[in-house]
């Protein structure tokens, strides 16, 4: 990169403000004031990929309505950090709920719907699927489905492969959970793939949580973890209200470790450690 090109690729405060406004409009994500350098770094690769002279030209390009690039823009600015069995107490709790339903006998419903909203690269929905496979004695006797959605098309594409590098398994909470992953051979020896039985429970779909939702539900549980943290309070309120409308009475909402429904919704009661139950 020549000196003048590098100069062009520094983001001015006014450009940052424009990108922030656009990100908020498209995704609901409320980027902090201090995220200028992050935005500069992540968008510089888009500017280069399009061979544009700088961020001003990139803004114009986005505003001219290049839908493909808006998608790339969103993919570049979203934060997709996740891991298998992250906040494992949620999965322990889910396993207990399933065991209760199972032991309630044939009178209890065998229909089970769970939504992973903001599923990123798939570790969350696969952790849910493995929990189901382990907790239910006979999956064939259940009508169980997991819907996994994200706005970011690139993470969804990765999720759908069900393939991960072996290092992803380092932080599994129990060694025996490795049994749910198949090791690659030959050139793929550093890779693992989630076993088919768990994969088969999940449907992946692209969905912007701020837009309309095509599914009718209702869901028994919704996982929306480490997503709302990026939204402002008003966006959180609207979203959580819509989640309540999508849950069965007594359905559960699992949120991220640094999130809370305090001042966001009174339609849920807190059961403990970021696990909520729809009231009524
Ligand atoms: C930090 S990841 C959380 C992944 C996972 N739920 C977890 O807790 O490990 C946040 C995800 O939310 C997604 N996201 C952000 N805004 C969204 C929106 N408006 N609609 C749908 N997904 C969104 C991002 O693309 C990203 O994959």
Cβ-based burial of 277 (10 A; exposed 0-12, middle 13-18, buried ≥19): middle
d(CA 124, CA 111): 21
Query: Is the distance from the beta carbon of residue 209 to the nearest atom of ligand 1 less than 6 Å?
Result: yes
Alpha helices per DSSP H over 109-213: 123-135, 153-161, 196-199
**Which DSSP letter does residue 23 get?**
H
d(CA 31, CA 229): 10
pTM of this structure: 0.93
Query: Is the distance from the beta carbon of residue 81 to the nearest atom of ligand 1 less than 6 Å?
Result: yes
d(CA 113, CA 219): 5
Ligand 1 mutation target, pool 71, 227, 238, 256, most atoms within 8 A of CB: 227
d(CA 184, CA 165): 10
The pLDDT score that the predictor gives to residue 8 is: 56
pLDDT tens for each residue of the chain, 280 residues long: 444 444 458 899 999 999 999 999 999 999 988 999 999 999 999 999 999 999 999 999 999 988 899 999 998 988 889 999 999 999 999 999 999 999 987 777 899 999 999 999 999 999 999 999 999 988 988 999 999 999 999 999 999 999 999 999 998 999 999 999 999 999 999 999 999 999 999 999 999 999 999 999 899 999 999 999 999 999 999 999 999 999 999 999 999 999 999 999 999 999 988 999 999 7
Which residue has the least CA distance to atom 8 on ligand 1?
Answer: 225
The pLDDT score that the predictor gives to residue 272 is: 87
Q: Which atom of ligand 1 is nearest to the CA of 152?
A: 25
- The length of the chain in residues reads 280
Ligand 1 mutation target, pool 26, 91, 118, 121, most atoms within 8 A of CB: 118
- Which single residue is written with the structure tokens 């139950």? 277
Per DSSP (E only), the strands in 135-196 are 143-150, 163-165, 181-183, 191-194
The pLDDT score that the predictor gives to residue 162 is: 98
Q: Angle at the Cα of 168 (from 164 to 174), degrees rounded to 5?
A: 125
The pLDDT score that the predictor gives to residue 108 is: 79
Peptide bond into 41 cis (omega under 30): no
Query: Is the distance from the beta carbon of residue 29 to the nearest atom of ligand 1 less than 6 Å?
Result: yes
Query: Is the distance from the beta carbon of residue 259 to the nearest atom of ligand 1 less than 6 Å?
Result: no
- Say whether 42 is catalytic: yes
């Amino acid at each position: 990169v020549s000196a003048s090109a590098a100069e062009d690729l520094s983001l001015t405060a006014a450009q940052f403000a424009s990108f922030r406004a656009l990100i908020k409009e498209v995704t609901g994500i409320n980027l902090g004031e201090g995220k200028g350098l992050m935005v500069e770094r992540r968008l510089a690769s888009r500017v280069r990929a399009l061979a544009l002279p700088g961020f001003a030209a990139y803004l114009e390009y986005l505003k001219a309505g290049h839908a493909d690039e808006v998608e790339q823009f969103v993919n570049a600015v979203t934060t997709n950090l996740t891991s298998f069995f992250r906040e494992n107490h949620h999965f322990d709790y889910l396993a207990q709920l399933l065991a209760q339903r199972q032991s309630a006998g044939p009178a209890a419903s065998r229909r089970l719907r769970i939504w992973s909203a903001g599923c990123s690269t798939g570790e969350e929905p696969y952790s849910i699927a493995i929990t189901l496979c382990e907790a239910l004695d006979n999956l064939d006797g259940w009508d169980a489905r997991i819907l996994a959605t994200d706005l970011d098309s690139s993470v969804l594409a990765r999720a759908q492969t069900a393939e991960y590098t072996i290092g992803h398994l380092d932080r599994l909470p129990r060694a025996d959970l490795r049994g749910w992953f198949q090791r690659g051979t030959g050139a793929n020896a550093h890779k693992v793939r989630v076993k088919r039985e768990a994969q088969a429970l999940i449907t992946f779909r692209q969905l912007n949580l701020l837009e309309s939702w095509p599914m009718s539900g209702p869901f028994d549980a919704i996982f929306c973890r480490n997503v709302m943290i990026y939204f402002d309070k008003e966006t959180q309120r609207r979203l959580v209200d819509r989640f309540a409308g999508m849950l069965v009475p007594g359905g559960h909402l699992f949120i991220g470790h640094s999130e809370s429904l305090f001042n966001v919704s009174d339609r849920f009661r807190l059961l403990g450690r970021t696990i909520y139950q729809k009231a009524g």
